[in-house]
Chains A and B, each alone.
Chain A
């Protein structure tokens, strides 16, 4: 069965520092995608970054980068130069070629301290 694990229920980071949010996944599909979403207190899910299983380079989007280690089945999100507005819940999600759904992890709450 496909599964996503986020082992950090909550994280604190000092403003302007970098932080890594962990995500491991389990799938036997050869083709899959990994997403990270941000959910602020307003509730809306905001897309941050995507990594395909066949992508050779780690994905980057502005201050967000994805540390993709395929052999270890991990897809950690790195946020550089944290800002107060980064305080939110962060979800890792796995999309498979077969199965027609996006499987979400339990999320990590990030709090940025000034």
Chain B
């Protein structure tokens, strides 16, 4: 079945440590996105990519980095510069970026700080 796979489901970060969240899709979608969700809040866009080797910052990119070396993969690194990383992270993809294209989401990664 086609879909988006995020791993791990739960991740713990120590102070000063970088951690990487994986996102893989087999839907052959061009666009991929990373969102952050805090309790009681909506989703906020961290980064998005419309084609391989290209990506743009979203609303809250500080302290995060991404890469898009393959169409299927869009990993997110939470760096030590992100001082409040505890949140639920959702990866999404869409066929292309347009107003009527729905996003398909993964099942998310819960990141916590030790």
* Residues on A facing B (Cβ under 8 Å): 4, 9, 31-33, 35, 37, 42-47, 50, 52-53, 91, 93, 95-97, 100-102, 104-107
Contacts and interface: CB of A to CB of B under 8 A. Distances in A.
Contacts of B90: 43, 45
Contacts, number: 64
A32 B101 CA distance: 11
Contacts of B104: 47
A101 B42 contact: no
Contact of A45 (B40, B92, B110): B92
Interface residues of B, number: 28
Nearest to A46: B105
B100 A100 contact: no
Nearest to A95: B99
Given A45-B90, A104-B43, A105-B42, A50 B48 contact: no
Contacts of B99: 31-33, 52-53, 95-97
A106 B41 CA distance: 5
Contact of B45 (A9, A35, A101, A107): A101
Contact of A100 (B41, B44, B48, B106): B48
Interface in B10-46: 33, 35, 40-45
A47 B92 CA distance: 12
B97 A100 contact: yes
Given A35-B102, A50-B102, 4 more contacts: A91-B43, A93-B43, A100-B48, A101-B59
A101 B45 CA distance: 7
